[in-house]
Structure 1
């Protein structure tokens, strides 16, 4: 029997999860299959890698010694796939991902076009849902990875920034603020606001930026809270209030002159979009290829 990467990956996942059953769930395998692969690895090395009892497993001295080598092999495999993804233009397969609302509705479609031209044989299946739902589906192995607008904190999740974004003060055409040039943040507080709902990534970024600038977000005159960016835009167009949104989400309306951006002198609403996926998962090559595309291309040419 030859030593193989698959067995090292299984061994490392068992050690990381602390049980064969948890590793089996993470790897989409049956528990007996996981046990058999670990036993095969133990037979290859001629030593026990785990001490097993009815309630728990613990790494043996040999198992502890193997851990860094197994981790190195996993990282090497990931780096290899990233390096080779640049050359896989005839790659076939399905790219399955989840995207949070702003990213999925307004940014990702502009990136999938050029990606599809470069990799025409990859079909794309995308769910546009909120960040919490994406995280849940990744943890349940229903999605390979996600692109979200808030930094997710979870011990099993790898998170990596992929794109910068800036929110802007958006007003309807003809609004008094458009006549003042660059304004101070306090000036916008004199007008009614239409905002995304509490808990949205957009709302969170806005609150954090105002807080850092020493401005009380509670002083905002919020007349309406809506559950989608499209609904917010429609309300602002109708003159119901002003808002703070990603400039990428109002590109069309700005070009038509329906909405206007008002620059604020003393506060910036900056954020990042992140890719998230399970640490224990080796992503399919289609996903690795797409993430490499996001990392290495000048995305501003399409946004």
Structure 2
């Protein structure tokens, strides 16, 4: 019997999860199948790798020695998929992903066209929802991965920055700042502000930057909190206040002269968008190909 990567992956997942049942759920396998594969690996090495107890699985000395090699083998497979995805022009498959609101509504639609031209045989299914819903669907294996606006801390999730973005100050065409060439943040914050709801990725980025500048976000003159970027833009266009949104989300309104973006002289609200997927998962080649596309292409030509 030859050493089997599939068995190494299962062993690593059992060790990480601390139980056969949890590993079975993460791997889409039955618990007996997971147990059998680990036993086969133990037979191959001729030694016990895991100590079974009523409470939790623990690594034996041999198991602890094997763990870094199992991790390296998983990393090597991921690197291999990433490198080979550059050559899979005839790749066929279905790409299932989740995207948070700003990314799903304004960023990805401009990228999926060029991706589809390069990989015409990959069909795409995208759910646009909030970060908590995306994470739940990934944990329940309904999605391969997600793209979100702010990183989250979860022991089972792998996070990777894949896109950069910048929030811009926007005002309506009749706003007192509409003719300004640039303004300081302090000048801008004198006006009423329309913001996304508490907990949104856009708002988290803005508030964190304000705190770094020793500005308390609770001191802002917030006139309205809205649940979507589209609603925020409509409120700004109607002259209800200023806001800070992704530059990609207002290209249409700026081009029509309905909204103006005003440069800030003393601060930039820069942020990263992140991919999120299970640490224990080996992504399908269609997902790896899309993530490689995001990492290596000059995306600003389309945004």
Query: For 1:250-265, what aligned pairs fall within 5 Å after superposition?
Result: 250-265=250-265
Give the direction of change, closer, same or farther, for the CA distance of 1:51–1:252 in structure 2 (3 Å limit): same
* Residue of structure 2 equivalent to 1:93: 93
Output the CA distance in 1 between the equivalents of 2:137 and 2:13: 20
| CA shift digits 1:146-197 (9 cap, x unpaired) | 0000011111111010111100110011322123321111212222211111
What CA distance in whole angstroms lies between the structure 1 residues aligned with 2:218 and 2:104? 29
- Residue 71 of structure 1 is matched in structure 2 by 71
Deviation per residue, 1:218-270 (Å, 9 max, x gap)? 33221111100011111111112111111110011111111001111122211
Report the counterpart of residue 26 of structure 1 in structure 2.
Answer: 26
Q: How many residues align?
A: 303
Aligned partner of 1:267 in structure 2 is: 267
Q: CA RMSD in A?
A: 1.1
Which residue of the partner structure matches residue 229 of structure 2?
Answer: 229
Name segments (4+ residues, structure 1) moved above 4 Å: none
Q: CA deviation at 1:93?
A: 0.6
What is the Cα deviation at residue 291 of structure 1? 0.3
Q: Which runs of 5+ in 1 are unaligned?
A: none
Determine the structure 2 residue equivalent to 1:55: 55
TM-score of the superposition, structure 1-length normalised? 0.97
CA distance in 2, matches of 1:104, 1:176: 32
Give the secondary structure class of the aligned counterpart of 2:153: coil
Aligned 8 A contact 2:174 2:239 in 1:
no
* Match of residue 291 from structure 2: 291
User: CA-to-partner distance for each residue in 1:16-72, whole Å, 9 max, x for gaps?
Assistant: 111111111110100000001111111112221112233332212221221111111
- What does residue 208 of structure 2 align with? 208
Partner of 1:172: 172
Unaligned runs of 5+ in 2: none
Contact conserved, 1:192 with 1:242, CA < 8 A, in 2?
Answer: yes
Rounded to whole Å, the distance in 1 between the matches of 2:123 and 2:74 is 27
CA contact 1:99–1:130 (8 Å) conserved in 2: yes
Do the aligned partners of residues 263 and 38 (structure 1) sit closer, same or farther apart at CA in structure 2, a change above 3 Å counting?
Answer: same
Please say if residues 162 and 272 of structure 2, whose CA atoms lie closer than 8 Å, have aligned partners that are also in contact: yes
- Normalised to the residue count of structure 2, the TM-score between the two structures is 0.97
Superposition deviation, residue 6 in structure 1? 0.4
The residue number in structure 2 matching 1:193 is: 193
Equivalence for 1:6: 6
